[in-house]
Amino acid sequence: MQTHEIRDRFTRHFVKSGHTAVPSASLILDDPTLLFVNAGMVPFKPYFLGQQNPPFENSTATSIQKCVRTLDIEEVGITTRHNTFFQMAGNFSFGQYFKEGAIRHAWSLLTSSVDEGGFGLDPELLWVTVFLDDDEAAEIWEKEIGVPKERIQRLGMEDNFWHMGVPGPCGPCSEIYYDRGPEYGIEGGPEADDNRYMEIWNLVFMESIRGESDANGNFEVVGELPKKNIDTGMGVERVACLLQNVENVYETDLLRPVIEAAEDLTGTKYDAGSQQNDVRFRVIADHSRTGMMIILDGVTPSNEGRGYILRRLLRRIVRSARLLGATGETLETFMNTIMDTMTPSFPEIADNRERIIRVAVNEERAFLKTLESGTQRFDVAATAAKEEGAQVLSGEQAFELHDTYGFPIDLTMEMAREAGLEVDMAAFDRAMSEQRNRAKADNRAKKHGAADESLYRDWVDNQPTEFVGYDNLVHDSRVIGLVRDGETVNEAKAGDEVEVILDVTPMYAESGGQTGDRGRIVMGDTVLSINDVQKIGKKLWVHKGVVEAGGLDLGSTVRTEVDEKWRHGARQAHTATHLVHAALREVLGPTAVQAGSLNKPGYLRFDFNYTEQLTDAQLEEITTIANQAVDADFAVNTLETSLEEAKAMGAMALFGENYGNEVRVVEIGGPFSIELCGGTHVAHSSQIGPIAVLGESSVGSGARRIEAYSGMDSFRYFSKEAALASALAQEFKTPSEKLPERIAELADKLKAAEKEIAQLHQQQLLSNTADLVNQAETIGEFAVVTVKLPNGVNAGDLRTIAQDLRGRMVEQAAVIVVASDNGGKVPVAVAVTPAGVDKGIKAGDMIKLIGGYIDGKGGGKPDLAQGSGSNVEGLDDAFRAVKDEIFTK
């Protein structure tokens, strides 16, 4: 049974029983506790935490959520049961059925025949575990389902009690295992051998509330949830492994083709007796899929956060392929292969294929260059270690290669062995552990963000805000909540900074890149100036402002007024953002995918995933297309429809957004621009006014940013540009249309003059070098020049002089040291002729010696080195030390 059919059967089973099918959320959600969605229940957290009421019919849902877990990337492939990317199929009940319902649903799907829509697993091969004291679950399994008592095992907190790692919902769980047979391990059930007995489904009975952990990670259950909830997770990949009768998850229909592609590229065979090679094949298969899915959801490689995880994954693929024997680029082949296997389950891959390939291939090419530079850094470290007589490369240097240059530790160890060195793995592990601890501490700190909105939970659940701002800028409202200094209050006085919660509001809350409205709340003599509006739980509008006059009481009826000028400017900028996005895709193609935006009155910025700098011609074309859309006076239409219908219309969605079943579509000029968007917009594109694209820049690896003005801000920008052009035309006495030619002509003349000045400067510098040669001292077999040149000679000039002197003295063993006092800094250059190097003098050693006297440092090659210090008074002593060192040779 193919994996996509397993997914379909799971969804049909639960929809038939009344569950609402919920599409997988993006791997990237606006959740401060997570880099990636790592469990099927994550998109449902607000319902489990009680922050929101579930919007599903019957308060039940089912989903197949894409997940990524990357805590132990280095362990991937060593075991054959774990993947960094996996699909978690789950069913959820928010206060409806509980233990018996969850158990019956799971058992029915697993054991019903294939003809009846089930998976057809033999019930005699299924084992279950329950929490130690969960007699209720054990009895249901035995009495209601008919699982023999000897196949029901009780396990402790670590295995059969679920919680989120922070105070909140928790409860016992029951896991279902499949006995793969004696060839996989010993008898005795899951507690004896969890390799033979493979876990395929976890049923969480969420019924309690846990408290804070103590220093040892222990916690107490402090209460019961108002509703008993069900959260289950079935591992799609593991079930596929069983139903396809293969040894492990890497040999299923999704990953085996990648291994076969790797065999073709490397000439090495999988499962040919080398455990080390098999691990590398699994790393390639696993990371190719995970990397592809992360890129699909809008991430690009970088040195931090999600981008850093993606970079590590892609680089481990490249390194593994090279260790298996690949000599050229590999990622394009691997990405195409994994996209072929995954597209039946994720059709959106087809529309993003070119972009995914581009991101992966560019990262591979960059890493191949990194391998070259990292190898050079390794060679320097290894040479220094051997010169010092050491047989060990320090753990700190190995960690630097790993952390700074992206070198996997296995690569460093292999290269060290080839150089006759070992790596201080204890020190490396300490450095890695310190880094992980810092990351975990940061993650623990972030996890508490989930509790920040608890103050607003009752309003979110029971009194959500009604937004009427699409059609109204003024509306009567009732004050249903006041918050000051993080606490609810019943009144606010003049001068108070306060958050106001209204039953209905015309004010737009910041979201989708559009900043919140500005405006006023008034009641008689009371005036409250609103400077920001934020949204909590997607349902509650929080108006932040200052009471400028009068006072405000809980329950008051007020008049809420949007600043019309502010809203008009925001509408212009937000609609302009849509036009720029459409123009961008027209010029660059569909691979330019939105990665974020900000729009406020008169200004917009638009981030998109793209790996190349835009040319001036491309920017000009984007500006022209966007303004042609303004001139066309396109109608801006909005409609609310289902997510599926919106996608069928071709509407683009923002990565990272978790859309509900009903979405708002903004359409401008028919097919010109169709996007999912909850923002406010002008009625016709001509109301935007001119759009001035200011330029574009990099905001990270594979990410670019366009900035632009709209409306009157754009007009003012163009006016200033015209005034500047007019002033320049007058200054240069040339028509404005010929300014570029005139400026280019002057620039060429300036460059020629600068070149001539530089040549004259160099001639002047070198005019006295013959005299310096004549002043050389003879020390043993060496001719030595040590001279402090006039103040103000910079490091570049010193280098030129040193090289010239070396050329004049090339026939003898000579050492040249030139220095200067350059504004408090002491630059120094040392040059040694080939004969001098042969006799044991190295410029790099000399520069280090000098550095000790002038409070400086430096380095270089044996024949030329440079450095600088801050103690000019130490130069004479430094010169003497150089001569003494030469005398000993």
Q: Is the pLDDT of residue 127 over 80?
A: yes
> Is 331 within a domain?
no
* Of 775, 840, 838, residue with least CA distance to 808: 775
Residue 663 has pLDDT above 80, yes or no: yes
In this prediction, residue 761 carries a pLDDT of 65
Answer whether 154's CB lies under 8 Å from 131's CB: yes
Instruction: Give yes or no: residues 20 and 98 share one domain.
Output: yes
| pLDDT tens per residue across span 280-314 | 999 999 999 999 999 999 888 887 788 888 988 99
| pLDDT tens digits for range 755-783 | 887 677 667 667 767 778 888 899 989 99
| pLDDT of amino acid 479 | 96
Say whether pLDDT at 452 is over 60.
no
CATH number at residue 110: 3.30.930.10
24-38, 653-667, 713-727, 817-831, range with the lowest pLDDT? 653-667
Same domain, 84 and 169: yes
- At residue 32 the predicted structure's pLDDT band, cuts being 50, 70 and 90, is low
Give yes or no: residues 621 and 484 share one domain: no
| Least confident piece of the model among 209-213, 337-341, 500-504 | 209-213
**Which of 75, 71, 62 has its CA nearest to residue 14?**
62
Share of the chain above pLDDT 90, in %: 58
The pLDDT of residue 595? 82
* Residue 285 placed within a domain: no
Residue 445 banded pLDDT, cuts 50, 70, 90:
very low
639 and 547, same structural domain? no
pLDDT band at 80 (very low <50, low <70, confident <90, very high): confident
Please check whether residues 84 and 38 belong to one and the same domain.
Answer: yes
Among 62-76, 176-190, 322-336, whose mean pLDDT is lowest? 62-76
- How far is 849 from 817, CA to CA, in rounded Å? 12
The reported pLDDT for the residue numbered 124 is 96
> Torsion angle of alpha carbons 488, 493, 496, 501, nearest 10°?
40
φ, ψ dihedrals at 181, nearest 5°: 110, 165
Burial 598-629 (b: 16+ CB within 10 A, else e): bbbbbbbbbbbbbbeebeeeebebbbebbbeb
pLDDT-derived band at 170 (thresholds 50, 70, 90) equals: confident
Residue 467 maps to which CATH number? 2.40.30.130
Residues 357-405: pLDDT tens digits? 999 998 898 888 777 777 778 888 888 888 778 888 888 888 888 777 7
pLDDT digits (tens, 9 = 90+) for 227-286: 899 999 999 999 999 999 998 899 999 999 999 999 999 999 999 989 999 999 999 999
Is the pLDDT score of 539 beyond 70? yes
Span of 63-72, 374-383, 629-638 with lowest mean pLDDT:
374-383
Per the annotation, does 677 bind a ligand? Answer: yes
* Contact in structure between 508 and 680 (CB atoms under 8 Å): yes
Q: What pLDDT is attached to residue 375?
A: 76
Q: Domain check: are 707 and 804 in the same one?
A: no
Same domain, 685 and 793: no
In a domain, 339, yes or no: no
Q: Across residues 607-614, what is the average pLDDT?
A: 86
- The verdict on whether residue 163 carries a ligand-binding annotation is no
Identify the CA nearest to 89 among candidates 209, 3, 156, 150. 3
**How far is CA 320 from its chain centroid?**
23
Of 687, 720, 753, which one is at a domain's C-terminal end? 720
**How is residue 298 written in tokens?**
């809008």
- Residues 119 and 14 placed together within one structural domain of the fold: yes
Whether the per-residue pLDDT at 423 is higher than 80: the answer is yes
Calpha distance 110→800 (Å, rounded)? 79
The pLDDT of residue 99 is 95
For 17, other C-beta atoms within 10 Å of its C-beta total 17
* 684 assigned binding-site residue: no
| Structure-model confidence comparison of residues 699 and 267, the more confident one | 267
**Angle of CA points 400, 404, 406, to nearest 5°:** 100
Tell whether 508 and 472 lie within a shared domain: yes
Q: Residue 229 domain-assigned? A: yes
pLDDT at 635 over 50: yes
Q: Is 402 annotated as a binding residue?
A: no
- Choosing from 558, 591, 616, the residue where a domain stops is 558
Residue 282 lies in a domain: no
Give residue 73's pLDDT band: very low, low, confident or very high (50, 70, 90).
confident
Tokens of 460: 């979110």
Which whole number is the average pLDDT over 584-599?
Answer: 86
Whether pLDDT at 318 is above 50: yes
- What does the CA dihedral 220, 223, 229, 232 come to, rounded to 10 degrees? 0
Does residue 271 lie in a domain region? no
880 inside domain? yes
527 and 585, same structural domain? no
Rounded to the nearest integer, the mean pLDDT of the chain is 89
Q: Residue 818: inside a domain, yes or no? A: yes
How many domains does the structure of the chain reveal?
Answer: 4
| pLDDT the model gives residue 478 | 96
Specify the pLDDT at position 180: 94
pLDDT of residue 435 exceeding 90: no
Other CB atoms within 10 A of residue 7 CB: 18
Mean pLDDT for the stretch of residues 589-593: 79
How far, rounded to the nearest angstrom, does the alpha carbon of residue 251 sit from its chain's CA centroid? 29
What average pLDDT does range 621-643 have in this prediction? Answer: 93
Query: Which residue reads 């080390």 in tokens?
Result: 276
At 593, which CATH number? Answer: 3.30.980.10
pTM: 0.64
Last residue of a domain, one of 558, 592, 618: 558
Residue 842 has pLDDT above 50, yes or no: yes
**How many Cβ atoms sit within 10 Å of the Cβ of residue 565?**
10
Q: Are residues 552 and 673 in the same domain?
A: no
For residues 711 and 802, membership in a common domain is answered with no
Host domain of residue 643: 567-720
The rounded distance, in Å, linking the Cα atoms of 451 and 843 is 62
195-215: pLDDT as tens digits: 899 999 999 999 888 888 777
